[in-house]
Structure 1
Amino acid sequence: MSTTDVPEPDSPGLVWRPLGEADLPRWHALTQAVEAADRPAERYTEDDLRDELLAGSWKDPAHRSLAAEDEAGRLVAFGLVDVRPGDVSTVRAFLWGGVHPEHRGRGLGRQLLAWQCAVGRQLIAAAPGSAPGELVLHSDEKLADRTALARAAGFEVRRYHLVMRRLLTGEGATPLPQVPVPDGLRVLPWSAELDEQVRLAHNEAFADHRGSEPRTREDWQRWVSGHRDARTDWSFVALVDDPSSPPQVAGYTIAFAFEQDWVDGLKEGWTGLLGTRRAHRRRGVGAALLAASLQAFARDGMDAAGLDVDRENPSGALGLYERLGYAPHQVEVVWGSAVPR
């Protein structure tokens, strides 16, 4: 999917243009300045930015990215629009961007978001099928300026994500939970041979989760099991214990080590995905898998364990995490704006 030209913002002293690979060092410097001011839970390396811009056959930076460059050649604002293939019930256009703290208050964020919304609507209109569309953006709850910007652009709060943490060492840490594996199942380390089955199990497990859409094989391998920060040695799969039949995935957890996020001095093992297929829910599968990851984090010297969860998750995931010792650390707001088709 591509777009027709959307008019770029007009800002005195700035040139607006798409991002390219040659911009990565300057773009990274800009994101670091934004992160230093806003203190988000998620930080970006230069390789992360390259992935955001280029990783994926559907990426089209010439039409889906925009940056503002000042007269000295510094990047002072950026925005990306990402519509991933594979969305079924809702075609989502993810909007991500930022403005250098020294250039805020000039209307750059408002202009940039207007451009992103226009591109997002075009991409949604061009997507196959007739499913409704949604513009999506995320912000930290504590950032009042981002809240005001989203509301002024017509976005509404769709849900709140809690970023949660469990200490593994030091003051406040509690003993690791000992969770039995449910009868008829066995928990094994993740393996490449099971990866496709885990992807399919994930798509089934999250089919009834708000804001979730199926992951294609390319998307899964780039952003989940094949991601540079994935720690498959901290990841586990629950299988139905029946040697007479092919392996059947009942649940799974995929963990990561995002070292760029360890800005408060704590090494953290991150649970990126945890899911249980419907037929195996309410049996303690998720607790057993998460306990296995906690043991792996502790074994390898992590100081803390982290994850995020929809505050209103109907599966009871929040209660599970609290029982295993996790507590809220930050709150992220997910904003949406419907795009009829």
Structure 2
Amino acid sequence: METHDSFQLVVPEAPAIPGLGFRRFHGEADLPMIAAVINASFAADGNSERMTAEGLANIHAHPVHWDPQQDSLLVELDGALIGHANTEWREEDDGARFHFINLHLMSEWRGCGLELAMQHHMERRAWMVASAGPSGACHWLASKVPETWPARVEVLLSLSYAPNRYYFEMQRSLDDDLPHAPLPLGLSLRPPLPEHYRAIWEAGEECFCDQRDHVAPSEEMYQTWVAMPELDPSLWLVAWDGNEVAGAAINVVHEGTWGETDDLFVRRPWRKQGLGRALLVGSLHLFKARGLTNAGLGVDAENLSGALGLYESVGFRPYQRVVVYRKRM
């Protein structure tokens, strides 16, 4: 049986802050505190996305390429959680393995040396994971950081990371008149049933293979997705051509005030017909009918499908740029 002391961690680069401590993930009781830290970190960067303890429970119950006990770091001050980090790897279609290091830190403790200490600790863990992987693979360390967190950016640049990919977080008010966009002829919207979920997910993965950072799908990824507590099929718009999924908008609601189009995709045979625009505009009307005030989404700034132009054409505007920094291992 593990003792409380067995969860404590030594982080040599830690700043000299009285009461500061580091430990591993204990279990389910930690999840509400981790969610609170993640949400405070999001809020500090102006990001409207929110995480729930229930959502974290699903992620921890279906870990994909990470171990919640070994690959997490919790930062405490006098016993109260102020920071959280984890590392997970993903293999892209070209075989390269990216070991992502994700950090969340409350705003009042940013810029005092914790970013460097947490990054170093997670890098050491990522190296251990990489060394246990297949020989000959190309390994990279990577972190996705909003430009509103300059102390984190400075740390990554000082450690020889370089910017590699850029993303925009975008929002649109739902208070004004919304555009209209009809479905292409021959297509129809039908409510998704549980027996449709896998076909919808597989259709999305088929489309996302065009993206630069696509990760080959796995059964673990599907099980995590379908078990997400925020997954609400009543918010989805799925376009059908007979019994085939032509495209879909997978929407979620955050804290009851704004809706996010988490995924928007159109399969190749139905592209260039206005289906993506119809699904996006339909999502705006759906959100407004639910009494929401804002809509949001994220996009690769260099998306080859022209998604950024589509989103701007229906009123979305960037409010935050997020950068992926990477370094060869």
- TM-score, normalised by the number of residues in structure 2: 0.84
Confirm or deny: 8 A CA contact 2:58 2:227 kept in the other structure: no
Structure-2 residue corresponding to 1:237: 238
Q: Does 1:157 align with 2:163?
A: yes
Consecutive unaligned residues in structure 1, runs of 5 or more = 1-6, 242-246
Q: Distance in 2 between matches of 1:17 and 1:64?
A: 11
Tell me the CA shift for residue 125 of structure 1.
Answer: 4.2
1:294-336 Cα deviation digits (max 9, x unpaired): 2221221111221111111110111111112212222222222
- Decide whether the 8 Å contact of 2:174 with 2:295 is kept in 1: yes
1:207 Cα shift?
0.9
- 2:265 counterpart residue number: 275
Q: Secondary structure at the match of 2:277?
A: helix
Structure 1 residue 254, shift from structure 2 partner: 0.6
1:32–1:258 distance in 2 versus 1, CA, 3 Å: closer
Deviates further, 269-278 or 103-112: 103-112
Report the alpha carbon displacement of residue 159 of structure 1 after superposing the two structures with TM.
2.0
Task: Check conservation: 1:98, 1:109, Cα contact below 8 A.
Answer: no
Unaligned ranges ≥5, structure 2: 1-8
Cα shift readout 1:17-53 (whole Å, capped 9, x = no counterpart): 2112233344445445544544333333333344444
Paired AA for residue 250 in structure 2: I
Measured after TM superposition, the shift of residue 195 of structure 1 is 1.6
Task: Tell me, in whole angstroms, the C-alpha distance in 1 between the residues paired with 2:73 and 2:300.
Answer: 30
Indicate how the Cα distance of structure 1 residues 199 and 31 shifts in structure 2: closer, same or farther if over 3 A, else same.
Answer: closer
Gap change, CA 1:113 and 1:313, over 3 Å in 2: same
**8 Å contact kept, 1:92–1:124:** no
SS of 1:189 mapped into structure 2 = coil
**Is the Cα–Cα contact under 8 Å of residues 30 and 100 in structure 1 kept in the other structure?**
yes
- The equivalent of 1:143 in structure 2 is 149
Report what 2:202 is aligned to.
Answer: 200
Structure 1 residue 271: Cα displacement: 0.3
Displacement of 1:130 in angstroms is 5.4
Are residues 121 and 185 of structure 1, via their aligned partners in 2, closer, same or farther at CA, if it must alter by over 3 Å?
farther
Listed one character per residue, the Cα deviations across residues 166-200 of structure 1 (whole Å, up to 9, x for unaligned) are 2212xxx23x2221222343332333222211222
Alpha-carbon RMSD: 2.6
Counterpart amino acid of 1:23? D
Q: Return the letter of the residue paired with 1:218.
A: E
Give per-residue Cα distances to partners, 1:250-271, cap 9 Å, x unaligned.
Answer: 2121111121xx7xxxx21110
Instruction: State the distance in 1 between where 2:102 and 2:25 align.
Output: 13
Change (3 A) 1:105 1:330: closer
User: TM-score w.r.t. structure 1 length?
Assistant: 0.82
